[in-house]
Amino acid sequence: MKKKAIVSVSSKVSGDDEAVEVVTPGDFYKKDNAYYAVYEETEVSGMEGTTTTLKIGENKLSLIRMGSTTAKMDFDKKSKSISMYNTPYGTIQLEIETNSLDININEEGGNVLINYNMAVGGNAPTNTVLTVNIKTQE
């Protein structure tokens, strides 16, 4: 059931005027009880050489990056998560607390809206809204 898709990911930090948005081609499929969107990061995102996988479950989204940047970030309404973000410049600890998670995905794609607080390296948390849109192509 693997389909070609256009994956749009937008991240906006509270207090910033502009969102950071990446729109890229990728693959979309369902495996077991989760949907997966897989795409290659570009120079625009600053993570060229990295493959990003979004694993979208019923009540959880995992963002998994492998390559020049390596990370696994879990967004789950029921718990906080701590992950290590490995970059070419070093490793950073991320603490994520999901405030709200709205998943509306089916075989044709869909939307995910996540509002979360993230503390980087023990600093004060910042509030961020992450929007994911997946459109399958015939």
Which residue matches tokens 């694993």?
A: 55
Cα separation values, 53 from 15, 44, 45, 114, Å: 28, 17, 15, 16
pTM: 0.90
12-61, pLDDT tens digit by residue? 999 888 888 889 999 999 999 999 999 998 777 777 889 999 999 989 99
Write down the CATH number for the domain with range 3-136.
Answer: 2.40.128.20
85-96, pLDDT tens digit by residue? 887 788 889 999
Backbone dihedral region for residue 126 (phi beyond 0: left; psi -120 to 50: alpha; all else: beta): beta
Q: What are phi and psi of 124, to 5 degrees?
A: -60, 140
